[in-house]
Amino acid sequence: MSKLPFELFLALRYLRPKRTSVSIITLISILGVMLGVAVLIIVIAVMSGFDREWRNKILGFNAHVEIGKPDKEAPLIEWRGILPLATNIPGVKAGGPQAGSLNVLAVSEEEGGRRREAVPILKGVDPILEPGISLIPSNMIQGAFDLSGRGAVLGKELAQTLRLDIGDRFSAYSPANIRRMEQSMKNKGDEAVLPAELELRGIFDVGFSDFNSFFIITSLETAQDFFEMGDAVSRLDLVLLDPMAAPDVQQRLAGILGPEIRVTTWIESFSYLFDTLVMEKNMIFFLLFFIVLVAAFGITSSLITFVVQKTREVGVLKSLGASRMGIVWIFLSQGIIVGVIGVATGTALGLLALGYRNEFLEFMNRVTGRSLLNSSIYKLYELPAEIKSSDILVITLGSLLICTLAGAIPAFLAGRLKPVEALRHE
């Protein structure tokens, strides 16, 4: 005798594969649930991965809190007095000055006289303090983080654009240089405006396309001389132990420094980007759940057909004393079993696909002959993923609930059948 409950035993017996249309519909329902759950897990994990990677790269390259003048173009002259005050605030990990962060015209010349040009951002930093502030010093792939003299480091894509190798020299024109050149041309003068000549000492790769493509890093003194700032800086950059504590640190600094100093957090600077990611993730989540909902209609369809086919058996069972809820549980169990099988296989398929996502991406790149993850658009070079147990739990339990509800309607219809009517129908 089977140790299973009578209702579950009959449900499993009815689900045995048979060469009937009902079995085919049931199989399609299982496949639909499986694919829906797998796609949901893959897409949500990838969206979470993008959120994590973008957050880590942006917060690793940029300051968590910036201190400057209300007019962003105005220099911060009193920075030497502010820096010790700011770094002594509880929660501040490190801080340092930054000069420039303005677009320049960078020009290199290859052998044969061919010129390469780009319009990156030139930023001057303190080479001693910078390792505690940004990812750049720890992510050098060629050369070294050497900013002495007229040394500079570039992102790998910018170095490729300018066709530069370690030790090569290139020129940089500041906005002031270009304005003087324009004024000289208007006045028909013969003033020669010489650019700054920099030497490439190192190439960095922080794993984010925009930062690798648009930044030249020099010493603080070089940038101050280049932008004619004297001893002033553009702003002070602070890195916190907990980036989410930035508003608290901002409030403390604002109380100490007063209204003449502007204090900005990364949340204010990049909130639009992360808010957009969260909104897209939530929208995709609800849209893709309709895949599971469509598969659930297959469960409903198969069970309705099954109830019609088993009308006589239902009448016999009720004549032998089976209760209404017992009949309901027989057919409801079928929907639950189909849901469990579909959700389990879908979860396994989704996790397996996430494990080999970049290998599959490389395969698709070779098949299509083009890059499906364009770093200039998505900013990353590999497809990220973050598997959150909370997301998996919501997807699996939500899918099981939908499958259970899909089986509830035909199950209650079967429970309402009266023995006499069921047998007379046959």
User: 10 Å Cβ neighbour count for 289?
Assistant: 18
Token look-up 């007229």 returns 150
Q: Which residues pair with 204 in a beta bridge?
A: 140, 155
Report pLDDT for 198: 94
Which residues sit opposite 105 in a β-bridge? Answer: 173
CB atoms within 10 A of CB 10: 22
Q: Which residues of the chain register pLDDT less than 70? A: 1-23, 112-113, 184, 188-193, 306-326, 414-426
Q: Please report which residue ranges of 127-197 form alpha helices under DSSP H.
A: 156-162, 175-186
Asked whether the beta carbons of 212 and 37 are under 8 A apart, the reply is: no
- Rounded to the nearest 10 degrees, the angle between the axes of helix 246-257 and helix 266-309 is 160
198: its two tokens = 């920099």
Specify the pTM: 0.79
3-state class (DSSP) for residue 362: helix
Coil, strand, or helix at residue 148?
A: coil
pLDDT at 1: 42
Pairing of strands 92-103, 121-125: antiparallel
